[in-house]
Chain A
């Protein structure tokens, strides 16, 4: 339903906005119930999610492990829930297993329902762009060539103000 909008609200944040044709309780469930999460949070084709453990409460931990089914490569990450406001808001930390990942990122998920549709906004704030870059390259690379059309869209989606 609609396409993903991606913006960079600050130098260390990425915000993603996407509309889903479903009430937000269902979208919230799909983010908080392990048997649902492992059905969609998979990355590029070929990956599955053998480990998906979630203790969804403030201070609770979660842990995900993905596996590339053909190559056997594994990638793990986890974190702690900082805020849970069902069915509208989740704030959690995230940290990948690899030691080269400097510090952790903080994810803020906000769900807004309007006329049966849910607008999801996920803002990821992290320590270094390079850390995320490395994570994506480490096996989840989808090999997409640069597209200036995409950039134009990105630039157009953030209207300029008259003053800095």
Chain B
């Protein structure tokens, strides 16, 4: 995978409004008007966020020429998710071992208490 592509994906995902837009699109495509509705934002402001998502390859435009609905591009999101999942797995394994170690340390401390 291209370095700047993953960078662009995560930069796009770093914004809470854009994550909310993606969450909305996960349940089906939507027009700009529909996407702007739940936010206290103007359509141009929403369009700006959509442009960032589009550039990152996270969303695309549907065929309907009038509504121009946006839809989720699952492949790119999948790449980002896979990356995070790998990271999470690695650390969860470490922290489960740390749990066990802390139990040992607590038991040892108890033994030394008068």
CA–CA, A9 to B98, complex, Å?
Answer: 25
Contact A160 B82 (CB under 8 A): no
Residues of A within 8 A of B19 (CB): 155, 158, 160
Question: Which parts of B78-94 form the interface with A (CB within 8 Å)?
Answer: 78-94
Residue pair A30, B82 in contact (C-beta under 8 Å): no
Q: How far is the CA of A116 from the CA of B47 in the complex (A)?
A: 48
Nearest Cβ on chain A to B87's Cβ, whole angstroms: 7
- CB of A75 within 8 Å of the partner chain: no
Q: Are the CB atoms of B6 and A40 closer together than 8 Å?
A: no
Interface check A11, CB cutoff 8 A: yes
User: Quick check: B85 and A150 within 8 Å, CB to CB?
Assistant: yes
Instruction: Report B's interface with A, CB cutoff 8 A.
Output: 1, 3, 6-7, 10-11, 13-17, 19-20, 22-23, 26, 39-41, 45, 49, 74, 77-95, 97-103, 105-106, 109
Give me the 3 closest cross-chain CB pairs, A-B, nearest first.
A160-B20, A130-B3, A40-B97
What are 28 A-B contacts with C-beta separation under 8 Å? A8-B13, A9-B14, A11-B11, A18-B95, A20-B102, A30-B105, A36-B105, A42-B93, A45-B93, A128-B7, A129-B10, A133-B83, A136-B90, A142-B90, A145-B82, A146-B79, A146-B81, A146-B82, A148-B78, A151-B81, A152-B23, A152-B26, A155-B22, A158-B19, A160-B19, A160-B39, A164-B17, A164-B45
Which A residues fall within an 8 A CB radius of B? 1, 3-4, 6, 8-12, 14, 16, 18, 20-22, 26-27, 29-30, 36, 39-45, 128-130, 132-133, 136, 140-142, 144-148, 150-152, 154-156, 158-164
